[in-house]
Chain A
Amino acid sequence: MGDPSTVTMRIWRGDTNGGGFEDHDVEVSSGEVVLDVLHRIQATQAPDLAVRWNCKAGRCGSCSAEVNGVPRLTCMTRMSILDPAEPITVAPMRTFPIIKDLVTDVSYNYEMSKRVPPFRPKPKPPDGHRMFQEDIERVQEFRKCIECFLCQNVCHVIRDHEENKPHFAGPRMFIRYAELEMHPLDSGDRRDLLQEEMGLGLCNITKCCSEVCPEDIHITDNAIIPLKERVVDRKYDPIVWLGKAIKGRRSGRAE
């Protein structure tokens, strides 16, 4: 795509009352991303097109949408990877209620975020807390999350089953739980909450969240599966339970 070429962008337009796809023929230049083209359409053909965006650098997680059916950040999706011979569809994230055009109401995620029990530090020893890089390295991966909610959007547990929303935290929140559970200074235990109220058992580890993560966080392998294993320690593994009970009795602590 050297010189400007024309492509057809098929964009979903509508609001809570419904809507449909609208075709826009638009020029595309070399190096442009989908968000550039959406802005051109906004500037030249559809000034009322609603698009949520902010940094245009893959850092803010605002411009999430579904390009040719694949959940992506529009600011990080180069036009050159899309086939210009066919109309390029851009649709809003399907899992969340529509506000207007490509803008969805993602407040479900913030509601779930409020339900995460916060960091509870261990009592401070006289010489203060000490942490080493190896202690914190594992949870640093989870801090890369930009909250684009593409993982929440693609997760079939809520994407295809709206009824699961009240009792399913979703992949984004699971990495938050993992971050707290694996934190060397946290004293909280969220395993019962995860299994009984946050729907950890609903995840069938099909890894779509990891596939769409623009930060390449290994959500399933490094957060969800380790959380499931910790829940097994707590609820389903009599050997671990017995070992901890004996250890607790020896050290005079009740499990």
Chain B
Amino acid sequence: MNTKTAENRDGLAASVRPRFQTLRRDRWWRAPLVTVVVLVGFIVYGTWVAFANEHYFTDPYLSPFYSPCLASNCAHVTLPVIGDWWTLSPALLILPFPLGFRLTCYYYRKAYYRGFWLSPPACAVTEPHRRYTGETRFPLILQNIHRYFFYLAIPFPIILFVDGIRAFSFPDGFGMGLGTLILLVNAGLLGAYTLSCHSCRHLCGGHVDVFSRSPVRSRLWLFVSRLNVRHGEIAWVSLFGVALTDVYVRLVSTGVISDPRFF
């Protein structure tokens, strides 16, 4: 038995051109939707935190949004390179660097091109744009400076790790609280995210053609490649890690919760 329906090979009449033409039946819209919800949530929270300029430090915990604290108006100065003239939130001095690193990250590019720009929203789903020039023109050609943001992002996990070590030093002496553990885990996650970066992989050894002549680079490349396979997952987990670490410091700082001490 056969019946013929007058449709083009997209499954829809040519005169009806909906925005997202596809024959897919699965819930392809779920992944871009989740991406948009999570990233918008983080942007809203991060913007509020960056401008809040309070409750980011409670001895010995410093929120990762404010570390390193470079202005002398900081509640806990890491390095006073900026004088009294800076009256805005000290977070604004440092956040552009990790923000730029994430914004130009190869993984996040995939996520936001799909989720926000719908280019394409999902595989084999028609994108709504009439023209497409990809990353060949300004401003998207600037995605090529990702490796510079990588260079600038390298100190952050190291500084946050130092913050984690400092978090053993309580006003009443040496100790360890839940916050210490959270700060160290957060530094570890950000370190993994930075190391697993595609630019890092290339700079470590991806540019080498003859690995047998560069054994150190070869081993480095293999190590980073193993991390790089999980770059997407690490990107999300480390994003949540930063936000949750700040939430924890904020809750302890405002007295909403008390920090459990292990010793």
Task: List residues of chain A with CB within 8 A of the CB of B209.
Answer: 135, 181-184, 186
Are A91's CB and B11's CB within 8 A?
yes
Task: List residues of chain A with CB within 8 A of the CB of B206.
Answer: 226, 229
Q: Given B10, B24, B212, B228, which contacts A221 in the complex, CB threshold below 8 Å?
A: B228
Mask: chain B, 99-132; 1 = CB below 8 Å from A; 0 = not: 0000000100110011000011001101101011
Are A69's CB and B25's CB within 8 A?
yes
Instruction: State the main secondary structure of chain A at its contact with B.
Output: mixed
Are A21's CB and B11's CB within 8 A?
yes
Mask: chain B, 190-221; 1 = CB below 8 Å from A; 0 = not: 00000000110110001101111000001000
CA distance A83 to B113 in the complex (A): 30
Q: Does B87 contact A (CB under 8 A)?
A: no
Are A20's CB and B4's CB within 8 A?
yes
Task: List residues of chain B with CB within 8 A of the CB of A235.
Answer: 144
CA distance A45 to B5 in the complex (A): 17
Q: Given A94, A98, A201, A207, which contacts B135 in the complex, CB threshold below 8 Å?
A: A201
CA distance A231 to B135 in the complex (A): 13
Are B210's CB and A24's CB within 8 A?
no
Q: Does A126 contact B (CB under 8 A)?
A: no
Are A161's CB and B228's CB within 8 A?
no
CA distance A100 to B133 in the complex (A): 32
Are A20's CB and B7's CB within 8 A?
yes
Q: Does A132 contact B (CB under 8 A)?
A: yes
Q: List 27 A-B contacts (CB under 8 A).
A: A22-B2, A22-B4, A23-B4, A46-B2, A68-B25, A69-B23, A69-B25, A70-B123, A131-B212, A134-B212, A135-B210, A156-B132, A160-B126, A184-B211, A201-B135, A201-B141, A202-B134, A204-B109, A204-B113, A204-B119, A204-B134, A204-B135, A205-B109, A206-B123, A221-B229, A226-B201, A235-B144
10 smallest A-B Cβ distances: which pairs? A69-B23, A69-B24, A202-B134, A208-B123, A229-B202, A201-B136, A132-B212, A156-B120, A236-B144, A184-B210
**Chain A residues in the interface with B (C-beta under 8 A):** 12-14, 18-25, 45-46, 66, 68-71, 83, 86, 89, 91-92, 94, 98, 131-132, 134-135, 138, 154, 156-157, 159-161, 164, 181-184, 186, 199, 201-208, 211-212, 221, 225-226, 228-233, 235-237
